[in-house]
Amino acid sequence: MLRLVLIGLLLAAAHPALAQSWPARPVRWVLSQPPGSSPDIVARLVADRLTKLWDKPVVVENRPGGQNVVGALAVVKAPADGYNFYYATTAALIINAYTFKSLPYDPKKDFVPVGMIGQSPFLIAANPQAGFNSIGDLVAYARANPDKLSVATEGPKTFSGMMAAMFASTAGVKMVAVPYSGVQPGILDTISGRTQLTVQAVAATMAHLQRNALRPLAVTSGKRVPGLEQVPTLSETFPGFEYVGWHAVVAPQGTPADVIRRFGADLAGVIRDPDLVKRLFDLGIIADPGTPEQLGAYLDAEHVRWAKLAKDTGVVPE
C-alpha cells in the first residue's frame, strides 16, 4: 500500500514537469478543410504564432472530405499523447450530430475542449437589383409571393443551408433553396441574378459587399458585426435567432490535462495579440479567446441550440 501511495505521489509531482517540458517535438494540427480555405488560412496564422512561442513546429495537416468526418476521425484515432489536435468548426462537432444517422465518432465524447479561436457570423445578402433594402422588405415580399425567391446555399445540411431553412421557418415564408457544391459559385449566381439571395459567412461575402455587388440584409449573430454595424441582426426582428460559425481547438479524449491547460492558455495568449486580432478580423473572424472550460460550456449550449434548429427545420438524419 505504501509503495502504491509513493508511486501516486511521484506521478502527481510529474504532471507539472510534463506541462513545462511540453512540447518536446512537433505538434500535429488536423483540419477538415482543404488548403486555401478560410479555416486553413486561420489555422496557419495561429500555428505560426504557436510555433514561435513554443520553438517547436505546429504542423497543419489538411484532411478534407466526408463533410468533416475524415479529419475528425483522423484525430479520434490518433494517440492522445498531447501531440495530436483538431481544428474544429461548427459542422464537425455540432451539425454532424444532427444530420448524420450515425457517425464513426462521437462529437461529445471523443474530444476534449482546448480553446476557442473566434466566431464567424453568417449573413443574408441579396442581389442589389432584387429590390430589398431591409429584412422587412424581404419578408413582406416572400410572404406575398411564396416560392418566388431562390436562395443559394451549400446544401440543406450545411451551416448555410440550415440557416436559410431556419430563417424561412422563423419568418413564416417559403423560398426555393438552391444547393451549390461550394461557397463562391452560389455567391456568384446571386450576384448575376440567377438566385436572388444567398446565406454565407461574412468572411466569404466581404469583398463583394465592399464593391456593392451584394446588399447585406441581416447577420445571424446576436450582436452586430464590427465593420458592418449598419447591418441589423436577425434577432432584432426575430428575438432568439442567434447562430454563428466558429473556429476552435479540441484534442482526442485522454489527452493529458496539463497539456490541455498549457495549450489552452498559450492559445488564448496568442489570440489576444492585437495584430492577430486584426488579421483575423480582416478574414471575417471575430477573435474570442477563452479557457477549455468556457469552450466546453459553449459546446454544450451549441448542442441545445442546434438540436432545436434541426427539429424546427425538419432535418432528417441520413
Q: pLDDT tens track of the chain, all 318 residues? A: 455 445 454 444 444 555 579 999 999 999 998 888 888 999 999 999 999 999 999 999 999 988 899 999 999 999 999 999 999 999 899 999 999 999 999 999 999 999 999 999 999 999 999 999 999 999 999 999 999 999 999 888 888 999 999 999 999 999 999 999 888 899 999 999 999 999 999 988 988 999 999 999 999 999 999 889 999 999 999 999 999 999 999 999 999 999 999 999 999 999 999 999 999 988 889 999 999 999 999 999 999 999 988 998 888 888
- Can you give the pLDDT at residue 4? 46
The CA distance from 118 to 106, in Å, is: 23
Contact 229, 286 (CB under 8 A): no
Instruction: Assign domain 26-119+244-313 to its CATH architecture.
Output: 3-Layer(aba) Sandwich (3.40)
Give the H/E segment covering residue 184.
helix 183-192
- What CATH number belongs to 121-237? 3.40.190.10
Where, residue-wise, is CATH 3.40.190.150 in the chain?
26-119+244-313
Name 140's Cβ contacts closer than 8 Å, sequence gap at least 6. none
- Can you give the pLDDT at residue 314? 87
- Can you give the pLDDT at residue 219? 97
- Can you give the pLDDT at residue 3? 57
Where, residue-wise, is CATH 3.40.190.10 in the chain?
121-237
Amino acid at 184: Q
Measured CA distances, 91 to 102, 122, 158 (Å)? 15, 14, 7
- Can you give the pLDDT at residue 225? 92
DSSP state of 26: P
Give the H/E segment covering residue 197.
strand 197-201
Measured CA distances, 152 to 149, 221, 227 (Å)? 10, 19, 24
- Can you give the pLDDT at residue 1? 45
- Residue carrying the nine cell digits 493529458: 256
Contact 166, 120 (CB under 8 A): no
